[in-house]
Chains A and B, each alone.
Chain A
């Protein structure tokens, strides 16, 4: 960096990293003076310090306020594709219908098949097709909420795009992320996709009815999940056999007062 005027390509001031230890640049003084003049005339540094997700977080806060006003427990269901999220959701809705107002937002890249499966249970559902997008964001959810009858005092399930990576970073305004891991996927998923398991409050270990046919090590999977997130709650269940469904619905009911 030029000691005379502070110009130069090695912008130590901006990086803010070890500003005092940088070597003094042995460049031509004359040439540097010319560059310095240009810099004084037309260039400047604008400090922003703004979180890249700032806008998403603003929409997420708007959603969170909406849920709080209406006493809605909103959950963001995340998993890899094929973990059985929709089947689990259908079964959950069948159990809770008549006890609480319910609604669902479905996220997929394409098709309305999942929303149709939900609507067949009698619960209102809005499908978001993200096109090429790999996750839902808070603004998409905000727009979907405008299309959906509000489940006042009840529960809203947001089924995210099947993807164990991208949805982890995007707050939708939910009360909690619930990650679904199925026993057909391999017990090391929590270590391979740690961001998602770290972001989740609850892990549902699904398809447990298939355990007799698989070499899946349940204890190891749970240990890996806790290594990433010591506070994660884990429920073993099967949306097909119904095993563990009572514990899951009890968990849901226990969260309601905290959300409202």
Chain B
């Protein structure tokens, strides 16, 4: 479950920000997790709780901003929302859409005290 190592990376990012920006408690963490990234949201929630133990973000609320996938057809140039990386272009049926959004994994913002 790679979500655990990703959650530990989130912890490191938060702890580093706490040092640099001088806060001692995080109330809310906003993560952007694209639907086509390699993260399972439920696994991330589970790992997040475990990984934040003993950190400034212990007991912080996790908000996941779930961004839809978007693919660009290399054949006809149409851009559309997609559910899977292997979806066909809804306009021309071509496979192999270029992923233009929805694979991000980012710590967006923190609400701190």
Total residue contacts A-B, CB cutoff 8 A: 108
Distance in angstroms from B11 CB to nearest chain A CB is 10
CB <8 Å contact, A226 and B12: no
Which chain B residues lie closer than 8 Å to A195 at the CB level?
A: 38, 85
Query: A-side interface residues toward B, CB under 8 Å?
Result: 11, 14-17, 42-56, 133-135, 137, 165-166, 168-170, 190-191, 194-195, 198, 224, 226-231
Shortest Cβ-Cβ A-B pairs, 9 listed: A230-B96, A166-B2, A169-B38, A52-B105, A227-B95, A46-B110, A228-B86, A48-B107, A194-B85
> Which chain A residues border B21 with CB–CB below 8 Å?
46
| Chain B residues with CB under 8 A of A11 | 28, 63, 111
Question: Which B residues are within 8 Å of any A CB, using their own CB?
Answer: 1-2, 5-6, 9-10, 12-13, 17, 21, 23, 27-28, 30-31, 37-38, 63, 65, 74, 84-86, 95-96, 104-113
Out of B17, B105, B112, which one reaches A51, CB within 8 Å? B105
B44 — nearest CB in chain A belongs to which residue?
A: A52
Residues of A with C-beta under 8 A to B113 = 42-43
Given contacts A49-B106, A52-B31, A53-B105, 5 further A-B contacts (CB under 8 A): A50-B107, A54-B9, A134-B2, A166-B1, A226-B95
Q: List 18 A-B contacts (CB under 8 A).
A: A11-B28, A14-B30, A15-B65, A16-B108, A46-B23, A48-B17, A48-B107, A48-B108, A48-B109, A49-B107, A52-B6, A52-B13, A134-B2, A166-B38, A195-B85, A224-B86, A226-B96, A229-B96
Q: Cα distance A224–B84 when bound, in Å? A: 13
Q: For B109, give its contact among A46, A133, A169, A227 (CB under 8 Å).
A: A46
A52/B109 in contact, CB under 8 A: no
Q: Hey, which chain B residues are within 8 Å of A42, CB to CB?
A: 113
For A43, give its contact among B84, B95, B106, B112 (CB under 8 Å): B112
Q: Which chain B residues border A53 with CB–CB below 8 Å?
A: 6, 9, 105
Docked complex Cα distance between A43 and B12 (Å):
21
How distant is B101 from chain A, measured CB to nearest CB, in Å? 14
Min CB gap A238→B, angstroms: 27
A231 and chain B: residue at smallest CB distance: B96
Residues of A within 8 A of B112 (CB): 43-46
Residues from chain A with a CB closer than 8 A to the CB of B1 are 134, 166
Taking CB atoms, residues of chain B closer than 8 Å to A170 are 2
Instruction: Considering the complex, give the chain A residue whose CB is closest to the CB of B96.
Output: A230
A43 to B17, CA, bound (A): 15
| A52 adjacent to B106 (CB under 8 Å) | yes
Chain A min CB distance to B29 (Å): 9
Q: Looking across the interface, which residue of chain A has its beta carbon closest to that of B67?
A: A17
Partner of B9 from the list A14, A45, A55, A165 (CB cut-off 8 Å) is A55
